[in-house]
A and B are shown apart, each in its own frame.
Chain A
Amino acid sequence: MEVKISDLHFSFTPGREVLRGVSLEVRSGEIFCILGPNGCGKTTLLKSICGILRPERGSIFFDGLEANSISMIERAKIVGYVPQEQYRLVFPYRVLDFVTMGRAPYLSIFSTPSERDYEIAEEALKEVNAYHLKDRSYTELSGGEKQLVSIAKALAQQPKVLLLDEPTSHLDLKNQIMVLRILSKLAEEGLIIIMTTHFPMHALLHSSRIGLMADGRFIAVGTAEEVMTEDFLRKAYDVDIRILSVKNPTGDGYIRICVPVEAIHASRVIRRFGEEAEG
């Protein structure tokens, strides 16, 4: 499966473009991370891909099929979307019922899910290691659990492409790592993962390719080495960032990390650390 996006334009209010000509190509097995400051259009881009928003100009191709030529239902069988805010659910659906809702594209308007549909939902839960939650009530879950269950719901669509909007923003460290690990596994199984994130570190450590977005378009697309330079990062975030190489604590080689300069200047701990090192 290949997703190709060319020259996408979108504006919410006429005259104010949010996407200004976005182009992109992603292949099966890739994790593509979109980095960029708030308001640069990351969420809008994702919503355009899964069909929630209709771009004014430009096109999206799924394996050569133009997105506008297929129905919404067909698109939903290809693209799964995990939104940023956790579902502001008013009803305490059972987790299994919730995940089964992902089967909607495969059911007509007058049908209810079959045994097979429920089985697929259960498998999706197993994929994300959340099977033990299946009889709980969605509204009672913790933030991390909700995120996993949302991913399971998207997986129940049996998509080829998975879009995730800042999947780790509201999670604690342990949950962040868990989610990223699962995404890596899914990519290995052949899914295309396109996710947006705030954390340059996550992009550095987990993605195959990165797209740096600013002002509605990509200012750099490529591997971590190509994109995560101090130059590009300053252009995108308007903040001074240093890329450092540190020795890999768990094996050979070096790992690249990025640190905002102001943090270095502002942090007393680091100075003290330096003093101790000297002393």
Chain B
Amino acid sequence: MSRRYLGFKGREILEASLLIFIPLIAFLASLFIGRYNIPSYLALRILISKILPIQTTVPREAEIIMIHVRLPRALASILVGSALALSGTTFQGLFRNPLVSAQILGVASGAGFGAALGLLISGDPVVVQGLSFIFGVAAVVMAYGISRTYREASMLTLVLAGIAVGAFFSALTSLLKYVADPYERLPSIVFWLMGSLSAVSFKEISLGFIPIIVPCLILVAARWRLNILSLGEEEAKALGINVEKMRMLIIGCCTLMTSAAVSMAGVVGWVGLVVPHICRMLVGPDHKVLIPASISIGAAYLLIVDCIARTVAPFEMPLGVLTSVIGAPFFFYLLRGRVSGWR
């Protein structure tokens, strides 16, 4: 009897291993796929030469492409995909609403504004990423602060404040677009806002790594508590949970992750909305399993989409566009016959 509480144990193991293998395969695939043709045996040799201390000569361009172009992109895809999916799942549980993603508190708008500002005054990638991150977090802090001034400091006021702050930063971004030189600065801003991992190098990853990994670990550790929060505020209080503190912790973690993700990749929508649903359909609503699943599926999803973005055409397709175009039909297909994971 004691084993049965998890359901059929074999199935658990299968699920867990799938959740590890799928993103792993996607990761390896994205190292092997690209516009520059590197034959598989060569790619394999390059990888091995980096992992094991074997001396082998490889063509310089191929090595640079695999290690300095594809590898950072793949790592960034994993970080960004997991961050966005995890934030989406968490927010949906926290707000008890299937239609929210982490963008609802204005993170993406704030981050977009920060990036536009950075591109306008400097163009240096570090400045852009840094400003983007700062303003993403600032937007949520603003929203939180606004909601606190109301006596009815509920989730609803927080969401409303977030929408208002988001609109505010979007408007400012439009203003920046208007002032920008239409031949050069403006296109950079537009490209950035559409989302892309094309210029990602280890430098960007090192900047965005900690604000994503640390909150991620925190949320994974606290994942069972999320179930309780999803019951509602009063019920959670009656079970002894400090609801206010948990909420701040969760919102804080998600904001850091989302802001870092957007500052690395631009505004990539859909991942935080659809991947949580897909995960719910696959593993059910228990956050104990759902949270790790979101991380895994989110990473795999973005790895696949980024692969497509850089191979399907001679120019780079914007990530934000592709995630929607691919995600939508896939989602409808899943929706057709399956239990949807919501009541």
Contacts and interface: CB of A to CB of B under 8 A. Distances in A.
Interface of A: 47, 50-52, 71-77, 79-81, 83, 87-94, 96-97, 101-102, 104-105, 107, 109-113, 115, 118-119, 122, 135, 139, 157
B48 to A, nearest CB: 38
27 contacts: A51-B238, A52-B237, A52-B238, A72-B240, A74-B240, A75-B240, A76-B240, A77-B240, A80-B238, A83-B234, A90-B230, A90-B342, A92-B285, A92-B341, A93-B285, A101-B227, A101-B228, A101-B231, A101-B239, A104-B239, A105-B240, A107-B224, A109-B222, A111-B224, A122-B5, A135-B7, A157-B239
Report which residue of B224, B239, B242 has the largest number of chain A beta carbons within 10 angstroms of its beta carbon: B239
A115 B228 contact: no
Nearest to B224: A112
A88 B232 contact: yes
Contacts of B206: none
B154 interface: no
B311 interface: no
A91 B224 contact: no
B285 A119 contact: no
Given A73-B240, A76-B240, A81-B238, A92 B342 contact: yes
Contacts of A72: 237, 240-242
Interface string B209-232: 000000000000111110110111
B5 A96 contact: yes
B252 interface: no
Contact of B239 (A90, A105, A118, A139): A105
A194 to B, nearest CB: 14
Nearest to B239: A104
A118 B5 contact: yes
B288 interface: yes
A102 B240 CA distance: 10
Given A90-B342, A109-B225, 14 more contacts: A47-B234, A52-B234, A76-B239, A81-B238, A83-B238, A87-B231, A90-B230, A91-B341, A92-B342, A96-B5, A97-B227, A104-B240, A110-B221, A139-B343
Interface of B: 1-2, 5, 7, 93, 96-98, 221-225, 227-228, 230-232, 234-235, 237-242, 246, 280, 284-286, 288, 339, 341-343
Contacts of A51: 237-238
A101 B5 CA distance: 14
B230 A104 contact: no
Contact of B235 (A79, A87, A93, A96): A87
B240 A90 contact: no
A90 B98 contact: yes
Contact of B284 (A94, A101, A115): A94
Contact of B223 (A50, A102, A112): A112
A56 to B, nearest CB: 16
B97 A90 contact: yes
Nearest to A82: B238
A97 B227 CA distance: 9
A148 B1 CA distance: 22
A165 B203 CA distance: 58
A60 to B, nearest CB: 14
Contacts of A107: 224
Contacts of B235: 81, 83, 87
A96 B4 CA distance: 11
Nearest to A121: B5
Nearest to A100: B5
Nearest to B221: A110
A76 B224 contact: no
A140 B39 CA distance: 54
B231 A119 contact: no
Contacts of B232: 87-88
A75 B241 CA distance: 11
Contact of A119 (B2, B228, B280): B2
Contacts of A75: 240
Contacts of A119: 1-2, 5
A112 B242 CA distance: 17
Nearest to B246: A109
A74 B239 CA distance: 10
Contacts of B97: 90
Nearest to B249: A109
Contacts of B240: 71-77, 104-105
B5 A91 contact: no
Contacts of A91: 93, 230, 280, 285, 341-343
A267 B232 CA distance: 44
B238 A97 contact: no
B231 A97 contact: no
Nearest to A47: B234
Nearest to B95: A90
Contacts of A88: 232
Closest 6 CB pairs of A and B: A76-B240, A91-B285, A118-B5, A73-B240, A110-B221, A105-B240
